[in-house]
Amino acid sequence: MRSNRKTDRAIVAALLILAGACQAEGSAPEADDAAAQELALMGTIPLYWGEETAFGDALSGNASSHWARNRLEGRFALRPLDTLSDTTLGDIDFLLLAQPRALTPAENVALDTWVRDGGRLLLFADPMLTGESRFAIGDPRRPQDVILLSPILARWGLRLEFDDTQPAGPSVLDAVVPIPANLPGRFAVVEGQGRCDLGAAGVLARCAVGDGRVVVLADAAVLDLYDPQPLAPAALDWLVGQAFGEPREIAGSRDSDRTASR
């Protein structure tokens, strides 16, 4: 049965109030709202809420909280988004998209305009998502298995490719900070479309887009909710620094172009 959008929005609003009123037991301390920079989150990987099956799960504390939320809240004040527009992005400097759904034409325009005006984006775009989910294939709550962002990537000078003959299973991308991966894609630079550098065997891209910056990883195993690889927290910290810290050369762009097995 198709869910009622008004009911869904009411539930999200209630959860936002609840999140502001209390902090889950055992979570990392939240950043000081008065001092912390704000980071907007959107995507089908549930970084903010975890994989709750019902409204009652979130209220009771039985939802599977995502470890990355605690990590991010140590530095940022988080703002979950469900759409991208001039309004929702208007006062945002930093945005993390975690395996987002296919964007509408209006959202593509809003995102591109925001980046060109100085926005900084960290994007996880996995062509073959391998992370486990408690929801079955076809359930709309399940993270999207295949990324569908070709128009906006091409606009920024990237083409996402996938080698379906590569060995399956966990691997580690060769970068200054090792990055967990599993069946990653690869980027190719589209000449004349943007200013992008590639690293970590082509799985990592950094693009200068107008006055803004985009860091894209063609894999999302770093964000696995269940049984995350031990290297994942440090890798996420490093990727966040690449996207939102001071500009620096992509690690791996001068390293040997290889992916090392775990």
Q: Which of 19-23, 164-168, 178-182 has the lowest mean pLDDT?
A: 19-23
Q: Which of 94-108, 168-182, 197-211, 246-260 has the lowest mean pLDDT?
A: 246-260
Q: Tell me what pLDDT residue 35 has.
A: 57
- Banded pLDDT at 251 (limits 50, 70, 90): very low
Q: Tell me what pLDDT residue 57 has.
A: 53
Q: Tell me what pLDDT residue 59 has.
A: 56
Phi, psi of 214 (to 5 degrees): -125, 125
Q: Tell me what pLDDT residue 62 has.
A: 56
- Banded pLDDT at 6 (limits 50, 70, 90): very low
| Residue whose tokens read 């930093």 | 94
Measure the CA–CA gap between 52 and 148, rounded to whole angstroms. Answer: 25
Q: Tell me what pLDDT residue 133 has.
A: 87
Measure the CA–CA gap between 83 and 92, rounded to whole angstroms. Answer: 13
**Under CATH, to which class is 5-261 assigned?**
alpha beta
Strand partners, 95: 40, 121
Distant-in-sequence, close-in-space partners of 94: CB < 8 Å, separation ≥ 6: 37, 38, 39, 40, 76, 119, 120, 121, 122, 243, 244
Strand partners, 120: 94, 213
Phi, psi of 41 (to 5 degrees): -125, 140
Q: Is the model more confident about 30 or about 103? A: 103
- Banded pLDDT at 141 (limits 50, 70, 90): confident
Q: Tell me what pLDDT residue 121 has.
A: 98
CB atoms within 10 A of CB 174: 19
What is the average pLDDT across 158-177? 94
| Domain coordinates in residue numbering, the chain | 5-261
Percent of the chain with pLDDT over 70: 75
- Banded pLDDT at 27 (limits 50, 70, 90): very low
Token duo for residue 46: 């549930």
Q: pLDDT for 111-132, tens place per residue?
A: 999 999 999 999 999 999 998 8
Q: Tell me what pLDDT residue 52 has.
A: 66
Q: Is the model more confident about 168 or about 87? A: 87
Q: Tell me what pLDDT residue 203 has.
A: 98
Percent of the chain with pLDDT over 90: 65
Q: Tell me what pLDDT residue 60 has.
A: 56
Measure the CA–CA gap between 17 and 83, rounded to whole angstroms. Answer: 19
Mean pLDDT, rounded, of the chain: 81
- Banded pLDDT at 135 (limits 50, 70, 90): confident
- Banded pLDDT at 36 (limits 50, 70, 90): confident
Token duo for residue 225: 């909710």
Q: Is the model more confident about 135 or about 129? A: 129
